[in-house]
Amino acid sequence: MAPSFVKPSGVSTPFGPREYLRSTNPKPQYESYTVAASTVPERVIDGSTQRILQRGLAMAKITSGPEAGNVGPFQADATDGRQTLANLVGLNETFLPWQLLSGDNREIAVATNCTAVQAWCRELDADGEEIVLTDTTADALRGTKRLDINFA
């Protein structure tokens, strides 16, 4: 029998880890944080509910509420501290395609010193949808005491 390939019927929505770094030279620096699963919006992909934490998503400290001390995606209209530019901790490096769906918080790596492509980085809008990192947020990630993210 000759080798063959049969394309399955139906089309699935592809998703995978997003690239956000311009270069890995010099080597990026990372810090470890715990992401609050409840701050990552649920999405429906091909009829299945998912919580997908993508790489390159701006992350901020949670300063109030039951998840205080953890981090979550930066969102300008959040009310738990994630809306404050001074609470930004960096860009998410850990791709979690389904692990947050259980509601359990997870350890992640966050880039604090790197060269990234701003158009490849994201933050959340008021509806919890990912949007391209704004200039205001990018400026807050550059050259502070604990962050040095350059954008190419």
Please report whether residue 4 resides in a domain: no
Burial class (CB in 10 A: 0-12, 13-18, 19+), 19: exposed
pLDDT tens profile 71-102: 999 999 999 999 999 999 999 999 999 899 99
CATH of the domain at 38: 2.40.300.10
28: pLDDT confidence band, cut at 50, 70 and 90? very high
User: Is the pLDDT score of 146 beyond 70?
Assistant: yes
Per the structure, the complete domain to which residue 73 belongs is given by 21-151
User: What's the pTM value of the predicted model, to 2 decimals?
Assistant: 0.91
What integer pLDDT is reported at residue 152 of this predicted model?
Answer: 86
What integer pLDDT is reported at residue 8 of this predicted model?
Answer: 64
Percent of the chain with pLDDT over 70: 95
Q: Are 92 and 98 in contact (CB under 8 A)?
A: no
What integer pLDDT is reported at residue 9 of this predicted model?
Answer: 65
Please report whether residue 15 resides in a domain: no
What integer pLDDT is reported at residue 125 of this predicted model?
Answer: 97
Please report whether residue 119 resides in a domain: yes
Both tokens assigned to 113: 């010193």
Please report whether residue 2 resides in a domain: no
Please report whether residue 130 resides in a domain: yes
Please report whether residue 73 resides in a domain: yes
d(CA 12, CA 45): 8
Both tokens assigned to 52: 């997908």
Q: At CA 39, angle to CA 81 and CA 126, rounded to 5? A: 75
Please report whether residue 114 resides in a domain: yes
Neighbours of 104 (CB within 10 A): 8
Please report whether residue 8 resides in a domain: no
